[in-house]
Chain A
Amino acid sequence: MSATPSRPPAPEPVVTGDPLVPVIKPEHHTLRQYEVRHRTTYTYEEYVTDSFGRALLRPRETDQQRIIGHTVEITPEPHILTEHVDHFGNHSSFYEVRTPHTVLDVYKRSLMEIEWPAPDMDRLNAWTVAEVAELVAAGEGLDRAEAAQYLLPSQLVEIAPEVVAYSAGILPPDRPFGEGLVALYADIYRDFTYAKGTTSVKTTLPELLAQREGVCQDFAHLAAGCLRAVGIPGRYVSGYIETRPPAGEVKLAGSDASHAWVAAMTPEGDWVDLDPTNNHFADSRYIVTGWGRDFRDVSPLKGVIFGEGGGSSLKVGVDVIPQDGSDPRADAPPK
């Protein structure tokens, strides 16, 4: 993988004079289309004779997102490729490649239409954090099965004492719910440094809280942990975000990235998505692939291979291409 890119130009401040009122930019909540191209390439030192994979490829439909088209190409061609809707409602794919290979390439292209309205802060602020927890526990008018699953700790979202302590400062019982959610993304954004390569898929929340740096996945886990610690269901959402290159630079093919954030359940059973990595609520630039209790439920690609052994290397290229004519990559033929 290439060297860690330096931090992009500091985002403009998104917090107003009152720190718990979000800045809502109407232009980020309009209807638009994106194409996502996502290529994952494994290169092995020795021939692999049999490769089994589980992948989250087809993006799910949501209230904010409609899927217009979706294709997957796996090279070498798999002997079997199946898809089912998993427990969490995601499209889960299974493949087996039995052609001996040293390079496995999974390339997906999805076209979607997104319109993600801004959250209704007045509605959210009508509950306090404690009231949300109470109403969720009572379970009237919401899916109790869903609520219970996203309330319990999960393998990567351990509700350790450190998490409870951190959460207590962000989500005090009497704080209005909407403000609590703003504080959740804003505080994590403030307290943690974005740094690639400092964490892994196995990093625990206490480790993260000690080192104070990580990537979107870690921040999403932490945010989910904070929510669950105070009795609010929190789920881990994986997908993509449209990014802009630093001023004056052209975006390189494959330079976008997959992304992860968190969603909080309201007492009415709907969800509010927020992004601690970027310090705001989700909007029309957020493309959802799937969600689960933590990263493990929505791992983009995992596999078991049989072969001679030897090492392997992994390359991931993502393009998130707005379909408004502004992006030159839109016309580029797929590789």
Chain B
Amino acid sequence: MSSVALGDQHLDLIDDYREVVTSSEGVDELVTLDGVREASQPLADQIAEAGLPALLAARSATRRFVADDGITYGAGVSPEDSEAPEGRQIPTEPREWDLDPLPLTFGPSEWSRLEQGVRQRAVLLDALLTDLSGEQRLVRSGTLPGAAVYGHDGWLPQADGIRLPGPKQLVMPAMDLARDRNGTWQVFADRTQAPSGAGFAMANRRIIARVLPDLHRRVDLARLRGFFYQVQKALVAAAPETDDMPRIVILTPGALSDTAFDEALQSTVLGVPVVESEDLVSRDGRIWMRTTSGLSPVDVIMRRIEGDAIDQLDLRGDSRLGLPGVVEAARLGNVSIVNPVSSGVLENPALIPYLPQICRQVLGEDLRLASTQTWWGGDPTHLSHIVNQLGSLVVKPASRTGNTNSVYGWELTAQERDELAMRIQSEPWRWTAQDPMTMSSAPVVTAGGLEPRSVVLRTFAVADEDDYAVMPGGLGRVAVRPDSGTVSSLTGATSKDVWVRVDSDTTPREGEIHSVPSLLEGSSPSGYAAPSPRVAADLYWMGRYAERAEAAARLLRVADNLVDDHAARPGTTGHTAMLAILEAVTEVMSVHPGFIGDEGQARREDPLPYLRELTLEPRIVGSVAYSTHRAVIAAQSVRETLSVDTWLVMSRLERTLQHSVPQDDLQELLMETIEGLLALAGIGVESLVRDPAWAFADAGKRVERAQQTIRLLASVLAVERTPVVEGTTTESALLAAESVITYRRRLTAGLGAMSALQAAVDLLLRDVSNPRSVAFQVQRLVEDLELIEDEAALPAVRGLADRIAGLDLDELFTDGHRPLAAALGQVGGDLRSAHQAIDGAYFSRKEPGRSVQWVQWNGGEGSW
């Protein structure tokens, strides 16, 4: 292995890797004993050509792209975070998605074999589901023991007899696969409830195509988009008969979802909205989506929650994710739930030993894609095998509830083994056991070179008339540590893009489509033009918080400049003006005591550290970091409604604020922050369709900017000062409101009868041509409300616009600054009322349902 040409160190990378890999059991996805897998040759060439530094650069680029695209996994709800807008629970920080730059590569024939196996297994599972949630002939005939079915939590007799209109009941199955030591792919788990990951697979592909552009171009790859077209088709085929295109939603746990990104990406690709249960209502045996303009019927629910959580009336009463009446609506054929509510029954490992027999019996074929060797305790011969071989088996309870992690027999003490054997023997039907898996390995890029990691592959299938279509690729995952044989869940596992090479000789497969055609276009989006109250509220608050952050950043920048110039010169007019602006910072940002009063004394003497805190400290309510973070959280909750560029901007914004170091210049930080917020505003102006969803985001921005400007006016211009100080403070306010240049131009051109102060007030309050003025915001708010077809707030807001236009500048200054202060107070009050009207009309929460007391059968004693 050391006979490599001098200077060509790159070849060592693969040779060194081979040396490590061949010392352990199992096959590798890149190298063979004496070479490279044929399908992976281009990748190997690329690795050799690039060398470790370039691979590490690719790894960094991957991470950067992941951050820019906002790809995250996992989120929880932090209980302490209670003062969120609208009382909404806010997800804690999700983790960034982990992706290795080197793809797993399949050759055409190898993939074709695997694909056929996946398709056949999907057909088989569908037949099994149809039987188990209906006639149960397999149990009645004795092929399948009843205890293997009915003992599993996924078996939901309440959902019996519900049939989807299409030819297939199991619309979207997924299978988790690993290679055994001979290199044969085996299924170790069937995912039939609401398998996640197709969106992550798509996201991985987008990134790797950018990270390895040459390789991606050089290799003929099967594209992924066609699969999502098939998903669209399948969802439409599963829909109840409707006059129009069926309306489809993705039902998710929302902020609680680990896979919110996956759901949002599929929502975008499929063109269907993501909803939470509170966005839906059940009425007259139908399901409807709540929108800001009324109820809109729902025909298909693509569920991303467990089957038993979907209906508090018929299924789990303590579920927070479901909707009472949805099972009945499905039974009545008014809504199609995909995958069906009862599809979890197929995830039962106790079924695995029976699949070969069922396959022969039902399909008349041998099972192509084998499962990991599995024993079920309910069968007496299997039971004795489990008990006798406990030390070499992975023991799994058939149902996944409670503390039901897999137990590795070899990790148990003799006593623990005996105890487990006793438990299994007392309820054998509850238990299954599997041979430990030998997985294949694949290289991941590390600072020390290529390291082998165990590989699992999730494949996705979707019903395609009488057959299934399989995503050409899937979601690859590898163990976090080199010595780990478990890639138990998405949590923490590194992912890999999965490449399926197509024969360049053969013509592209029929039905291979490179983009999702507009199957649902024009129907679904228009059907849901109005967002749900939850989405509308999040967009509105996103607009408000982003604007609040920008206003704060601008004002802080002005304050920082004044501090730089005047802090060292107490007693000067400049110093007095600085203090006035620091006071205004406190008022406008509502960060009392701030620079005011005795408590503000120390801060007034040395303002810089606190200005820095007001920029960077996310724990100060009102700081730039706080408001930015709130905007990001609101955006994450409505991810699917925002463009990809939004994430680019938002993730950079947060990075600027989070990763600053004390040496960083505050001016620079504030400037970068303002740049980011401007870019965000630019997306709002340039990239978003003017639909009601956009109007809510814009309305939030307008209400906030109007309020910020009023506060600025009230705390800077409506306060009496000496003329010299007033000159400086007025300029500062105009600077903070981005209007100073116009002001100076007007001063130069001559003001007529107006004083300089009046000109400033006019520019910031009444001038509808100034995009920073209060009047301009109110006018835009009117337009936003018109787009929403609002009736609740519009009359009052129109009235407000008229009142602002009617303000007389002379009257505002007849009695010092008092009439101005009063007028500002009134306009601010009107804006608050407008906010309340919007909030009341569009953001109303659905009240949670409550279970009523069950009637108990408690009588009947006393015969004679």
Complexed CA–CA distance, A200 and B853 (Å): 11
Question: Across the interface, do B847 and A52 meet the contact criterion of CB distance under 8 Å?
Answer: no
Please report the total number of B residues contacting A with Cβ < 8 Å.
48
Question: Across the interface, do B325 and A96 meet the contact criterion of CB distance under 8 Å?
Answer: yes
The verdict on A12 contacting chain B, using a C-beta distance below 8 Å, is yes
Question: Across the interface, do B861 and A301 meet the contact criterion of CB distance under 8 Å?
Answer: no
Interface string of A1-14 (1 = CB under 8 A from B): 00000011001100
Residues of A within 8 A of B427 (CB): 159
Picked from A8, A216, A299, the residue with its CB within 8 Å of the CB of B858 is A216
Question: Across the interface, do A259 and B146 meet the contact criterion of CB distance under 8 Å?
Answer: no
Complexed CA–CA distance, A94 and B158 (Å): 12
Of A123-131, A167-175, A237-245, A325-333, the stretch lying at the interface with chain B is: A237-245
Residues of A within 8 A of B160 (CB): 86-87
Complexed CA–CA distance, A297 and B158 (Å): 9
A243's nearest neighbour on chain B, judged by CB, is: B862
Of B149-157, B344-352, B757-765, B805-813, the stretch lying at the interface with chain A is: B149-157
The verdict on B364 contacting chain A, using a C-beta distance below 8 Å, is no
Question: Across the interface, do A302 and B852 meet the contact criterion of CB distance under 8 Å?
Answer: yes
Interface string of A130-160 (1 = CB under 8 A from B): 0000000001000111011101100000010
Within A284-335, the residues touching B (CB, 8 Å) are 285, 295, 297, 299-307, 309, 312, 314, 316, 318
The verdict on B285 contacting chain A, using a C-beta distance below 8 Å, is yes
Of A29-37, A68-76, A77-85, A114-122, the stretch lying at the interface with chain B is: A77-85
Question: Across the interface, do B859 and A256 meet the contact criterion of CB distance under 8 Å?
Answer: yes
The verdict on B312 contacting chain A, using a C-beta distance below 8 Å, is yes
Contact flag A305-B849 (CB < 8 Å), given A139-B142, A201-B854: yes
Residues of A within 8 A of B158 (CB): 86-87
Question: Across the interface, do A304 and B849 meet the contact criterion of CB distance under 8 Å?
Answer: yes
Question: Across the interface, do B857 and A260 meet the contact criterion of CB distance under 8 Å?
Answer: yes
Question: Across the interface, do A306 and B849 meet the contact criterion of CB distance under 8 Å?
Answer: yes
Residues of B within 8 A of A241 (CB): 860, 863
Question: Across the interface, do A240 and B860 meet the contact criterion of CB distance under 8 Å?
Answer: yes
Within A29-51, the residues touching B (CB, 8 Å) are 40, 42, 50-51
Picked from A80, A147, A280, A306, the residue with its CB within 8 Å of the CB of B863 is A280
Please report the total number of A residues contacting B with Cβ < 8 Å.
70
Question: Across the interface, do A8 and B861 meet the contact criterion of CB distance under 8 Å?
Answer: yes
Within B125-156, the residues touching A (CB, 8 Å) are 136, 139-142, 145-147, 149-151
Question: Across the interface, do B140 and A304 meet the contact criterion of CB distance under 8 Å?
Answer: no
Secondary structure type dominating chain B contacts: loop
Question: Across the interface, do B860 and A277 meet the contact criterion of CB distance under 8 Å?
Answer: yes
Question: Across the interface, do A12 and B864 meet the contact criterion of CB distance under 8 Å?
Answer: yes
Complexed CA–CA distance, A139 and B146 (Å): 11
Residues of A within 8 A of B750 (CB): none
Residues of A within 8 A of B332 (CB): 82
* Whole-angstrom distance between the Cβ of A232 and the nearest chain B Cβ: 15
The verdict on B722 contacting chain A, using a C-beta distance below 8 Å, is no
Question: Across the interface, do A52 and B324 meet the contact criterion of CB distance under 8 Å?
Answer: yes
* Whole-angstrom distance between the Cβ of B749 and the nearest chain A Cβ: 62
Complexed CA–CA distance, A282 and B99 (Å): 66
The verdict on A278 contacting chain B, using a C-beta distance below 8 Å, is yes
The verdict on B429 contacting chain A, using a C-beta distance below 8 Å, is yes
| Residue from A79, A88, A300, A303 whose CB has the most chain B CB atoms within 10 Å | A303
Complexed CA–CA distance, A258 and B136 (Å): 32
The verdict on B331 contacting chain A, using a C-beta distance below 8 Å, is yes
Question: Across the interface, do A304 and B150 meet the contact criterion of CB distance under 8 Å?
Answer: no
Complexed CA–CA distance, A285 and B859 (Å): 14
Residues of B within 8 A of A314 (CB): 852-853, 855
A85's nearest neighbour on chain B, judged by CB, is: B161
Question: Across the interface, do B859 and A307 meet the contact criterion of CB distance under 8 Å?
Answer: no
The verdict on A196 contacting chain B, using a C-beta distance below 8 Å, is yes
Complexed CA–CA distance, A300 and B332 (Å): 21
| Residue from B328, B849, B855 whose CB has the most chain A CB atoms within 10 Å | B855
* Whole-angstrom distance between the Cβ of A185 and the nearest chain B Cβ: 12
Question: Across the interface, do B863 and A285 meet the contact criterion of CB distance under 8 Å?
Answer: yes
* Whole-angstrom distance between the Cβ of B319 and the nearest chain A Cβ: 11
The verdict on A215 contacting chain B, using a C-beta distance below 8 Å, is yes
Residues of A within 8 A of B283 (CB): 79, 96, 98
Picked from B139, B141, B146, B862, the residue with its CB within 8 Å of the CB of A244 is B862
Picked from B157, B285, B854, the residue with its CB within 8 Å of the CB of A302 is B854
A289's nearest neighbour on chain B, judged by CB, is: B857
Question: Across the interface, do A200 and B856 meet the contact criterion of CB distance under 8 Å?
Answer: yes
Residues of A within 8 A of B136 (CB): 145
The verdict on B370 contacting chain A, using a C-beta distance below 8 Å, is no
The verdict on A166 contacting chain B, using a C-beta distance below 8 Å, is no
Question: Across the interface, do B857 and A300 meet the contact criterion of CB distance under 8 Å?
Answer: yes
Question: Across the interface, do A243 and B863 meet the contact criterion of CB distance under 8 Å?
Answer: yes
Residues of A within 8 A of B140 (CB): 143-145
Residues of A within 8 A of B282 (CB): 52, 96
Complexed CA–CA distance, A157 and B5 (Å): 74
Within B806-864, the residues touching A (CB, 8 Å) are 847-864
A55's nearest neighbour on chain B, judged by CB, is: B855
Instruction: Tell me the B residues contacting A by CB distance below 8 Å.
Output: 136, 139-142, 145-147, 149-151, 157-158, 160-161, 282-285, 312-314, 317, 324-325, 328, 331-332, 427, 429, 847-864
5 contacts between A and B (CB under 8 A): A12-B864, A80-B285, A87-B158, A145-B139, A148-B139
Task: Enumerate the 10 nearest inter-chain pairs by beta-carbon distance, A residue then B residue, closest first.
Answer: A257-B859, A148-B146, A259-B860, A87-B157, A8-B862, A87-B160, A304-B324, A278-B863, A304-B849, A215-B858
